[in-house]
Structure 1
Amino acid sequence: MNILHIDCSARAGSHSRALSNAMVQKLLARHPHAEVLRRDLGLEPIPHAEAAYAAALATPAAMAAAQAANPANGGVQLSESLIQEVEAADVLVIGTPMNNFTLPSVFKAWIDQLLRVGRTIGMSAGGEKVGLLADRPVYVGIASRGVFS
């Protein structure tokens, strides 16, 4: 079993980190030979999508041209690497704080790099978007110091 563990808090001692770590430990107790790949978006953030990456996403031809010209062009290589991490995972564990009533921008940056039409998102015959990634369990631990009602 492969576990992809993602932390999003910028605080090293955060409650969301403790929560996601506890979830990973529970999984390891059940699957002691599992391998864990940890991506720490809070302490080692990935870049937000750049203009060149957005241009590459415009059409399949633009993506092919960007990859042919320079595989690292505008985040295409990073996007592919992140997608491959998810594809290799049997389970995802995500720990994130709630900041200002929403998730941290580093988590949104990860999602923006992960979702690509033709790679992780397809289109049905009726024009509806469909996911191309295989189903897998995803455990999300959200921590907040505030009270939400």
Structure 2
Amino acid sequence: MNILHIDCSPRPESHSRQLSAAIVKKLLEIVPNARISRRDFASTPLPHASSDYATTLSSPGTLAAPLKGSLDLSETLIQEVETADVIVIGTPMNNLTVPSVLKAWIDQILRAGRTFKSTPTGKVGMLRNRPVFVGIASGGVFTGDRANQPDFLTPYLSAVLDCIGLKSLQFLSVQATAFLDQEQAKLAREKALAKIDLTVIGNVPCL
């Protein structure tokens, strides 16, 4: 099994990093010989869309004859997704949604004619579905009776990943991190991990 492990937080010991690492650890308990590919968008951030990339994607004509090198990064990132049997994303909730470093990745992997096709009824994904686990850390509370802020992260990620065919998403969150001490944060991670459904790993084709 191949695991693509992505982290987004700029803090080395952030709650989202600890949560994503715990998710990967859970997966390795099931498949100890799994191979892990890493993308750390804090230590190695992706560039935002270049002029050549945007120009190539601007019309069917330019997409059919792309500017030299304009799709190289996009192709590399898409192939990483295609090679992965499972994807684990650790991300903070920044200003109610995904951080810009994760958005830069999304802008490279959503590509017309490559990962999705447009139809009269909307975008249809062209990639094989696979489990995606998203570990979220939020300084506030965005779910449940104590929610005090809106959530634009989970519906956004659900929508954009669905566009390319990734439909099996699980969101695990540690919330109110601004008010948690170390022990409380550990308990919050354990509570989040208790909700993980690992039975989906049995559907991974390579197992």
TM-score when scaled to structure 1?
A: 0.90
Q: What is the CA-CA distance between 1:60 and the residue it aligns to?
A: 3.7
In 2, Cα distance between the equivalents of 1:21 and 1:132?
29
Match of 1:90 in 2: 85
Counterpart residue number, 1:63? 63
**Offset, 1:127:** 4.8
Structure 2: how far apart are the matches of 1:94 and 1:127? 29
Deviations 1:34-63 (A, max 9, x none): 100010012210001122211101234313
Q: Which of 139, 142, 151 is 1:145 aligned to?
A: 139
Instruction: Return the offset for 1:134.
Output: 0.4
Identity of aligned residues (%): 60
Rounded to whole Å, the distance in 1 between the matches of 2:16 and 2:43 is: 13
Rounded to whole Å, the distance in 1 between the matches of 2:56 and 2:72 is 12
* Structure showing greater relative contact order (alpha-carbon pairs closer than 8 Å, 6 or more residues apart): 1
Q: Is the 8 A contact 1:82 1:114 kept in 2?
A: yes
1:131 and 2:121 matched: no
Which sits farther off after the overlay, 56-65 or 13-22?
Answer: 56-65
- Preserved contact between residue 6 and residue 40 of structure 1 (Cα < 8 Å): yes
Q: Which amino acid aligns with 1:28?
A: L
Asked if the contact 1:2–1:89 (Cα under 8 Å) also holds between the matched residues in 2, the reply is yes
d(CA) in 2 for partners of 1:30, 1:19: 17
| Per-residue deviation, residues 1-42 of structure 1 (Å, max 9, x unmatched) | 000000010111101000000000100110011100010012
The runs of 4+ residues in structure 1 deviating greater than 4 Å are none
The CA deviation string for residues 53-101 of structure 1, in whole angstroms up to 9 with x for no partner, is: 111012343134325xx2x23xx10000000000000000000001121
- State whether residues 9 and 43 of structure 1, in contact with CA within 8 Å, keep that contact through their aligned partners in structure 2: no
CA contact (8 A) 1:82 1:113 kept: yes
Paired residue type of 1:84? Q
- Gaps spanning 5+ residues in structure 1: where? none
SS at match of 2:95: coil
Other-structure match for 1:39: 39
User: Is there any run of 5+ residues in structure 2 with no aligned partner, and where?
Assistant: 148-207
